Amino acid sequence: MYKVKVYVTLRESVLDPQGKAVQQSLSSLGYQGVEDVRIGKYMELQFDDSVRDVEGTVKEVCEKLLSNPVIEDYRYEIEEGAKQ
Amino acid sequence: MKFAVIVFPGSNCDVDMYHAVKDELGEQVDLVWHDADNLDEYDGILLPGGFSYGDYLRSGAIAHMSKVMAAVKKAAEAGKPVLGVCNGFQILLESGLLPGAMLRNKNLKFICRTVELSVENNETMFTSLYKKGEKISIPVAHGEGNYYCDEATLAKLQENNQIAFTYASDVNGSLSDIAGITNEKGNVLGMMPHPERAVDELLGSADGLKLFQSIVKHWRDSHVVNA
């Protein structure tokens, strides 16, 4: 049993208008020190023991579906035996 | 000529597209559900706008995995005209049939109004009845129509004349004001504006009709002897 945490974020070269709007909102709340905000997605995947190559599979699904490589980067963490 | 309008769960411009082809263009058309695996009987494929699968994950991301898309790819490879409008364009981008991706509109708002487009390339099977540089009025309705690709891809699009339509003035932040692009071969067109909503003066504009008529003209010229 594996729990996989996947983070998908816009590439650095891509403008993030949503993040920009949140940054401006924080600034108007008085948090002048928040220089930049980037908004992304967080996903949790639960793998059962039938999946042999968990890391390989995670990479594959990230590239095929969970992220769009044209505009997004992804990273992941794999935790063993996480399900209670 | 026989068209297929592909219907995904959440498509909502499918009936407009059907009406445009059947009643305004006067050609045959079927609504085809997303689980169809064969489109051989159709001469042209239309991917309508809407919110397929609720735009979950990314616009078009789930729809591009559906069964019918293998058949759409086959039709594209065979050189048949494939037109994706709005969400249909997003699905074509996700499927890799067209290069690039869509970002949220620059102003983060859903934009729903008629805009002016310039016909950049009138030498495609979709635009041959327009004049080069012609200004046409076509409605847009989208929240994610901010076209993006890397510099190398943009250079390639320009070099190969793949930019079919641009916005006459900035609408959503799209790179180079791109409103619609074709693939290299020129038989797949994706565009954010809705030509099927501009096919009769009663709707405010009939400027979109020529796009569909161009497709039919191309098909007649290449398929019908003594046309």
Q: What is the pLDDT of residues B32-89, one digit of tens each?
A: 999 999 999 999 999 999 999 999 999 999 999 999 999 999 999 999 999 999 999 9
Band (A17; pLDDT cuts 50, 70, 90): confident
Nearest-angstrom CA–CA distance, B65 and A21? 32
Enumerate the domain spans of chain B: 2-223
Residue of B48, B195, B50 lying closest to B114 (CA atoms)? B195
Domain containing A32 equals 2-80
- Which pLDDT tens digit goes with each residue over B111-146? 999 999 999 999 999 999 999 999 999 999 999 999
**Distance separating alpha carbons of residues A6 and A3, to the nearest angstrom:** 10
- B2-223 placed in CATH 3.40.50.880: yes
The CATH number that applies at residue A56 is 3.30.1280.10
Q: Where are the beta strands (DSSP E) in B38-103?
A: 44-47, 82-85, 101-103
Q: Is A6 on the interface with B (CB under 8 A)?
A: no
Q: Give me the interface pTM, i.e. the ipTM.
A: 0.85
- What does residue B154 show for φ and ψ, rounded to 5 degrees? -60, -45
Q: H or E element: which one contains A10? A: strand A2-10
Task: Report the gap between the CA of B103 and the closest CA in chain A (Å).
Answer: 8
- Sequence-distant (6+) residues with CB within 8 A of A59 are none
CA of A18, closest CA in chain B: separation in Å?
7
What percent of chain B is modeled with pLDDT above 90?
Answer: 97
CB half-sphere exposure, B126, CA atoms < 13 A: 30
Taking CB atoms and an 8 Å cut-off, how many pairs form between chains A and B? 35
Q: What is the CA radius of gyration of chain A?
A: 16
Domain count, chain A: 1
| B105 contacts A13? CB cut-off 8 A | no
| B28–A contact, CB cutoff 8 A | no
Q: Does B73 touch chain A (CB under 8 A)?
A: no
Cβ-proximal residues to B73 (8 Å cutoff; 6+ apart), any chain: B95, B97
Task: Tell me the pLDDT tens digit for each residue of A43-81.
Answer: 999 999 999 899 999 999 999 999 999 999 999 999 987
Q: Is B96 on the interface with A (CB under 8 A)?
A: no
Contact A18 B104 (CB under 8 A): yes
Position A82 scores a pLDDT of 56
